[in-house]
Structure 1
Amino acid sequence: MNIFIATQMIKVLHAPICIYSAEGDIIQCLEENNGKKLIEKEDFSIEISKTIPCIYVKENGVAFCLMWVQEEGYFLGLGKIRIYDFGDEEASQYPYCQKDEFATIVSILWNVISGKEVGVGELWAKNIFVDISDVREQITKNVFERQESGQSHNPYAQELRELDSIRRGDIAALKKSINETYSGNIGILASDPVRQYKNLAICVITNATRCAIEGGLNPEMAFSMSDSFIRNIEDNMTEPVKIEKATRDAEFEFANAVHDLKGQGNDNPLVMQVRDYVFCHIHDAIRVREIAEFIGVTPNYLSEQFSQAMGMTLKQYIINEKISSSENLLKYTDYSLQEISTFCAFSSQSRFSVYFQRKNGITPAKYRKKYKKTRNE
């Protein structure tokens, strides 16, 4: 057992790592404990495998791991920690290590100890058990009842048409698919009516998100939109009719976003890589050579290909995207002009104002005043 590596992992785990006897007695703590709670002898009452790391997680998210060191004849214990950034009062007393980071540490140490590889997904699959026998029984019951009554779910073909319209950014087709009439029924996703509509909203928005990405929308933008739409429904809505409306609005937002990308190189892999890079680095001082290096082409080649596909220089595209980002910040936040200029990585506020006025015909200050006046009317 490489004690040095285990000791170094403490800095990442933020929790104790100790050596235990087969009976659960502490043999050695690899670092001074400083009052943190350790795995106790009574924790060894659970069934512990010696062929794979044993991870135990309480209902409140407090976790620990025990792994058998065959050559030395002892257990290496990691934790206790909490693997979620929420929990009850008891959980808050434990140091935090994000769930998959914790599993990654376990995976690395297990490889050091045993020479064997075990992935993060496999670790959780081997240690977390969920009884789905009741679900299988419910599936059988649902299928029987629908077959007996002659009822069916909403047609899959209609759903495909709806999603395809988002993928293509076709607003008219989306309206048409939503207005279709059919004999099937939406599935029952919860016994509580409000929860039913919220669960359905999550399903619809999730599918719409993936289709928008397939249509060319930047993944990070799509996921951020999805997060916001779902959180708004989850946190602020309790009326099914409003939940349904918000769900449809989200679909149209995605379709519009894809529609606005038409003619912007959606069929050009190089352009799409550039767009994704610029989106993710919009708060940086983006340079053409950095994008070219990231993609793996020369700056001259990148600039030439981009200009041919988009009808504008790459530098102008970067400026336009920064101005578009600043427009949203002016509309929806209270950040000062200087702060927005800094966020968008302009060399100065005056340079930001020049570029902004060149694109919009008015200064950032007048743009904000005009938009907020429109919103308040």
Structure 2
Amino acid sequence: MDINKEWSYKEFIMREDNISHAPYGPEFDFYVSVKSGDIDKVMKLCEDAFTDKVGLGQLSDNPLRNIRYHFIITVAMVARYCIEGGMEHEAAYRLSDFYIQQADQCTAMDQISRLHSIMTIDYTKRMKALKMNKIFSKPIVKCIDYIYKNLNTRITVAMLAAYIELHPSYLSKLFKNETGITISMYIQKRKIETAQNMLKYSDYSPAQIASILAFPTQSYFIEVFKKHVGMTPKKYQERCFRETEISRENRKT
């Protein structure tokens, strides 16, 4: 195992900055974890009380009202991320309305903190079920979980087959039948999705990302990225940077 590549990938997922408001990296990581249905990670993130979150802005002089406002913002963001991830629009917003109404009835900050955990885990479980609704066998569920947790390594069919304890040929056929695509294509798609997030929300260069996500060469990473996204990683990063700058300028005016 390349410990530097392992750390670089984990650093992107867990990085935090010492600034006055909550750092964007971990906040983005939180919403993406809910969207992807990562139950284990979300439950770990919810171990810390919502009221203890560092960097919450002051939206009200009243502490209870302040934390309630932040809860409402979080619910709205979670709903939008889940819609982006495939949750039905009305279902996502009906659920957010329900939790906002529950928060409105809370009379103590610790009640809102507990409600935050319940709400977050509820959305996450629904997203996981949504992603698994076309997958019926336990081997494929285990296979996909393994892929998500090891995107920073080189994953082969043989490795997955050994992990699932199935013959490689049988696993390949089963995976294609249940997901509609090959194992190799699925791994590619998930890695490119992660690469897009890293190009958009981190300072890593395309070369660093190619190494972190265990692509054999930078040129192969560029080739695969262009096939899936329609442009090179560098052009994608430049476009995201321009869009961010335009958005900042619009907020100033």
Cα 1:345/1:187, change in 2 over 3 Å = same
**Corresponding residue number in structure 1 for 2:87:** 169
For residue 210 of structure 1, what is the aligned residue in structure 2? 121
CA contact 2:172–2:183 (8 Å) conserved in 1? yes
- Normalising by structure 1, we get a TM-score of 0.39
Once the two structures are superposed, the pairs formed by residues 78-97 of structure 1 within 5 Å of their partners are: none
1:354 to 216, 223, 229: 223
Q: Give the residue type in structure 1 aligned to 2:125.
A: E
Judged with a 3 Å threshold, the aligned counterparts in structure 2 of structure 1 residues 303 and 202 are, in CA distance, closer, same or farther, namely farther
Q: Is the 8 A contact 1:216 1:272 kept in 2?
A: no
2:135–2:179 contact (8 Å) kept in structure 1: no
Distance 2:231 2:114 in 1: 42
Bigger helix share: 2
CA distance in structure 2 between the partners assigned to 1:214 and 1:330 by the alignment: 28
Aligned equivalents of 1:215, 1:176: Cα separation in 2: 13
1:283 pairs with 2:152: yes
Q: Distance in 1 between matches of 2:136 and 2:121?
A: 17
Output the CA distance in 1 between the equivalents of 2:126 and 2:139.
15
Distance 1:305 1:363, change over 3 A: same
Q: Provide the secondary structure at the position in 1 that maps to 2:152.
A: coil
Contact 1:216 1:266 in 2 (8 A): no
Larger radius of gyration: 1
**Paired residues, what number?**
163
Distance (Å, rounded) in 2 between the aligned partners of 1:184 and 1:342:
44
Give, as a single letter, the amino acid of the residue that structure 2 aligns with 1:210.
Answer: I
Equivalents in 2 of 1:313, 1:182: separation in Å?
44
Displacement of 1:270: 2.6
1:268 CA displacement: 3.9
Structure with the higher fraction of residues in strand conformation: 1
Q: Give, in whole Å, the separation in 1 of the partners of 2:112 and 2:102.
A: 21
Does structure 1 residue 340 correspond to structure 2 residue 209?
A: yes
Where does the alignment leave 5 or more consecutive residues of structure 1 unmatched? 1-161, 190-195, 218-257
Could you list the runs of 5+ residues in structure 2 that have no partner in the other structure?
Answer: 1-78, 247-253
Q: Percent identity?
A: 24
Change (3 A) 1:270 1:213: farther
Q: Supply the distance in 1 between the matched residues of 2:204 and 2:169 (Cα, whole angstroms).
A: 37
Structure of greater relative contact order (alpha carbons < 8 Å, 6+ residues apart): 2
TM-score by length of 2: 0.56
